[in-house]
Structure 1
Amino acid sequence: MIRPLSRTALILDIVGAALLFLVLAPVSIVFYGTTDTPIGGVSIALVVFASVLMCGGVAIGRLAPGWALAAAWAGAVLQMMAGFGPLPVDLAILLVLYATSAWGTRRVLWWGFGSALFGGLVAAVFMVIVNGVAFGTESGWAKVSMGTLLLVLSVLALGFAWVCGLLWRVVLRARRTRSAQLEAESLAAEEQERVRIARDMHDVVAHSLAVVIAQADGARYAASVKPELATEALGTIAQTARGALSDVRMLLTQLRHRQGDGPQPTLADLEALFAQVRQAGIEPRVTVDPMPPGEPPAAIQLAVYRILQEALTNAIRHGDGAVDVHLAWLPDRVDVDVRNTVGHDGPAAPGGHGVMGMRERAQLVGGSLQAERRGAQFVVHATLPIGVSE
């Protein structure tokens, strides 16, 4: 029954209700009150109390619409007990009905709708029977006609206030829906950005670290046998680490701006990638048949590079011997096939962030990728559409 409401909004509602009472209650009493009899004095006291209740309903209209409706009904009953017809202070009733449909619960909303209909009927009957409003005649048909007219006007007035509140309720709901939609889109964009950052960090760093680890292990065993080999391995480690540092700086530049900013790896960088793999002790046997029929799109070149980078990284980590790389640049697609013999500690099934990253790379350009173990080999096969080259 009580809605969460800020202190500022509650204070504004209370001040507005107080001003409404101070302006409309005296006007109602001065222009409609009678104090020439004791009964008149009691009636005015009832009207003042009724005005307090109705304006109090306005004060808590947004905080507790249900209680506000009850207070407005209590004030209206006291006003009729005092013998008064419509008064200027009854504007508070319209504001309460507006609050019930704008901020009330579903039950309070329909209670307000029923109050608008029933209240219009009660007001029309009271004015015709108690106040004797009949266009100056006492005939029954005149009272019926006047009662019908008053009923329509009363229901229209009360219903208009309720409908205005309902329209504002629809506006508020649309705002909440739009806000929730924007929040969901923001969360989705953030999630996509986190996935992209994780994928790029994995692609950029994992390969270089795999080469460094392989060279460090080789240098450790070669230090006591052939120091010159250890020195060569340390040189490779330093060179690979510098390349990784450059890649990380490029990635950070992209993160500070947009994904497409900064240079991206192309097919021309594949030879450097194969050289790093050779330095790590794995000999890639590369075949390209057929050759690219022109300049492939930059997105396809990046996808091919990253897929090969991750597949070769897995070969360094888990492979045992050489790795076969085959690229087939067809008019409408490129097929990437990487096969390597899996060691005893190799993965039995595809999994991990590496395979997931390769699959995402292929899907980003509309392609597909399968990674699976076939006997003693681990096979990565990707198909990337490139369209017809011009």
Structure 2
Amino acid sequence: MRELTRRQLTVDVGIAGAFALVCVVFTINDGKILLVPLVVASAGVAFRRLLPALALGIAWAAALIQISAGLGPSAYDLGICVVLYATAAYGGEVVRWLGLASAIVGAIIATVFLQLRFSWFSAFLSSPGELLDQLRNAVAVGTGILALLVLSWVSGQLARTMRIGRETSRREEAARHDADIAEYRVVVEQERNRIARDMHDVVAHSLAVVIAQADGARFAAQTRPELAVTALGTISGVARDALGEVRMLLAELRHDEGSTPQPTVVDFDALFEQLRGAGLELRVHESGARMPLGASHEIAAYRIMQEGLTNALRHGAPVRPVDLTLFWADDAVHIELVNEVVDAVGAPPTPGQTPGHGLPGMHERAQLAGGFLTATPDGAGRFVLRARIPQGGAA
């Protein structure tokens, strides 16, 4: 059973009523109105979309009642055409093909009935020539009836095909719309994650430097005031730089990524000097010629070193050197950072402790750049970070 709205049901009943009224108008002058087949045929028209199989049975039942009563063709016979159309347009697989088969069988029965009722026997009793003419007439009449019934069914099949095509187009359009929304959400989420990583790197790095310098200034204020003044200057510079970077990141929330400056290869040395100014004993070992990696890959390399050095400043053993090795290959830069630790960086968080975002962020940056990163203790009291960031074309 098809699900129809109340409006569709009202329209179908109205069409059936109009059909019955037209049939009455066209047959009242002949004085051959038969109420039962008229009502039955009109019922088939009313149920044609709601119950196509039932409507098909009702329509042919009306035709059988008409034949049993010995009546000739009438206006309500057109109800069969309407039902055959609906059978092909709205019926299921079995009902649809039953409609076509009933159209063929019905055309044969109608042709035989008309010939038997009007002229066959009289022609047969008169002469063989007249019988041959009647056979030709029977073939012509049968062909016309079959064409009318089959054409009604084919029209319904075409309407069904067009409706399915429109529904398929709507579904494809809806699927494309959903895909566009999903892609947009993925892009937005990736951008949010990127900005969150940058924000974490900037804030964590800057605060680590500020804390280290503030602690040093607090202890040096009593004995060596000049060092305290230097530390306060470093704090001021780092905080000012961090404020500028945070402002740039917030600006990216309103503009695209390319509209704001990002760290590149030439900023590596400034990063190293900033960490040395914060009190980190950093030894840089660099081999190979520096080369451009591409904007996003240079940002990844910069942020990975920034986060790794910040972790070394926060968790590393005091007054112990940190070794940073940069090897520039033909298609990538290899980064190795080694420092002694006083706590287990990268260890699973204890119950109640919130896991950090630094190491996952570094892993994600390396993977998005097409490289890899490992960061684990070596079992000898040192923490080793290794990363490979390829050129943009190799990602």
Give the TM bin, normalised by the shorter chain: 0.7 to 0.9
CA contact under 8 A between 1:25 and 1:88: conserved in structure 2? no
The separation in 1 between residues aligned to 2:228 and 2:92, in whole angstroms, is 82
CA contact under 8 A between 1:69 and 1:97: conserved in structure 2? yes
Using the size of structure 2 for normalisation, the TM-score is 0.73
CA contact under 8 A between 1:340 and 1:379: conserved in structure 2? no
The separation in 2 between residues aligned to 1:302 and 1:135, in whole angstroms, is 96
In the other structure, the counterpart of 1:55 is 46
In the other structure, the counterpart of 1:329 is 328
Task: Give CA-to-partner distance per residue, 1:123-147, whole Å, 9 cap, x none.
Answer: 3244224444999656696557754
Aligned length: 363
What SS is found at the alignment partner of 1:292?
coil
Task: Give CA-to-partner distance per residue, 1:213-239, whole Å, 9 cap, x none.
Answer: 563376368647636567765665554
CA contact under 8 A between 1:54 and 1:92: conserved in structure 2? yes
Name the aligned partner's letter for residue 346 of structure 1. Answer: V
Deviation for aligned residue 1:192: 3.9
Q: 1:200 to 1:77 in 2, by over 3 A?
A: same
The separation in 2 between residues aligned to 1:157 and 1:96, in whole angstroms, is 9
Q: 1:317 to 1:20 in 2, by over 3 A?
A: farther
Name the aligned partner's letter for residue 312 of structure 1. Answer: L
Name the aligned partner's letter for residue 383 of structure 2. Answer: Q
The separation in 2 between residues aligned to 1:222 and 1:133, in whole angstroms, is 121
Q: Does 1:162 align with 2:157?
A: yes
The separation in 2 between residues aligned to 1:356 and 1:89, in whole angstroms, is 73
The separation in 1 between residues aligned to 2:109 and 2:240, in whole angstroms, is 92
Q: Which runs of 5+ in 2 are unaligned?
A: 67-72, 122-130, 350-354
The separation in 1 between residues aligned to 2:363 and 2:277, in whole angstroms, is 27
- Residue 35 of structure 2, aligned match among 42, 66, 69: 42
What SS is found at the alignment partner of 1:331?
coil
The separation in 2 between residues aligned to 1:259 and 1:91, in whole angstroms, is 66
Name the aligned partner's letter for residue 284 of structure 1. Answer: L
What SS is found at the alignment partner of 2:310?
helix
Q: Which runs of 5+ in 1 are unaligned?
A: 62-66, 101-107
Name the aligned partner's letter for residue 297 of structure 2. Answer: I
The separation in 2 between residues aligned to 1:239 and 1:136, in whole angstroms, is 114
Deviation for aligned residue 1:265: 1.6
In the other structure, the counterpart of 1:277 is 275
Q: Does 1:307 align with 2:304?
A: yes
Task: Give CA-to-partner distance per residue, 1:15-54, whole Å, 9 cap, x none.
Answer: 64356345543333333567626xx3424xx424532442
The separation in 2 between residues aligned to 1:22 and 1:244, in whole angstroms, is 81
CA contact under 8 A between 1:205 and 1:244: conserved in structure 2? no
Matches within 5 A, 1:235-250: 236-237=234-235, 239-250=237-248
Task: Give CA-to-partner distance per residue, 1:316-351, whole Å, 9 cap, x none.
Answer: 343334332222333333223333333323224899
Q: 1:151 to 1:328 in 2, by over 3 A?
A: same
Matches within 5 A, 1:1-390: 1=1, 3=3, 11=7, 13-14=8-9, 16-17=11-12, 20-21=15-16, 23-32=18-27, 36=31, 40-43=33-36, 46-57=37-48, 61=49, 67-83=50-66, 87-90=77-80, 92-94=82-84, 96-97=86-87, 99-100=89-90, 109-132=92-115, 143=138, 147=142, 150-151=145-146, 154-213=149-208, 215-216=210-211, 219=214, 223=218, 226=221, 236-237=234-235, 239-292=237-290, 295-320=292-317, 321-348=320-347, 353-375=357-379, 376-385=382-391
Structure showing greater Rg: 2
Query: Identity across aligned pairs (percent)?
Result: 30
